[in-house]
Structure 1
Amino acid sequence: MSGTPKQGFGPAFRRWRAGRPFWGGLLLTLGGAEILLTEKASLKVIMHIGMQGLAGYLLPVVMVLCGLLALLSPGQRLFYSIIGVMSSLGTWLTSNLGGFFIGLLLGAVGSCLVFGWLPDQEPRRSRRQRRKEAGAATEAGVASEAVQVP
Structure 2
Amino acid sequence: MPRRSFRAWRARRPFWGGLLLALGGGEILLTEKASLKVVMHIGMQGLAGYLLPVLMALLGLLVLFNPTQRLFYSILGVLASLGTWVTSNLGGFFIGLLLGVVGSCLAFGWLPDQEPRVSRRERRRRARVLAEEAGTSAV
Counterpart of 2:61, as a letter, is L
Cα distance, 1:53 vs structure 2: 1.2
Asked if residue 107 in structure 1 is aligned to residue 100 in structure 2, the reply is yes
- Deviation digits for residues 29-48 of structure 1, max 9, x if unmatched? 00000000110379xxxxx9
Of all paired residues, the percent bearing the same amino acid is 75
2 CA distance for matches of 1:121 and 1:10?
A: 24
Stretches of 4+ moved more than 3 A in 1? none
1 CA distance for matches of 2:81 and 2:90?
A: 10
- Deviation digits for residues 12-56 of structure 1, max 9, x if unmatched? 0011001100000000000000000110379xxxxx923x11000
2:29 to 32, 36, 41: 36
Cα distance, 1:120 vs structure 2: 2.5
Corresponding residue pairs, total: 114
Superposition RMSD in Å: 2.1
Matches within 5 A, 1:1-150: 8-40=1-33, 49-50=43-44, 52-121=45-114
What TM-score, normalized by structure 1, do the two folds share?
0.70
**Which ranges of structure 1 fall in alignment gaps of 5 or more residues?**
1-7, 43-47, 128-133, 135-140, 142-150
**Matched residue, 2:135:** none
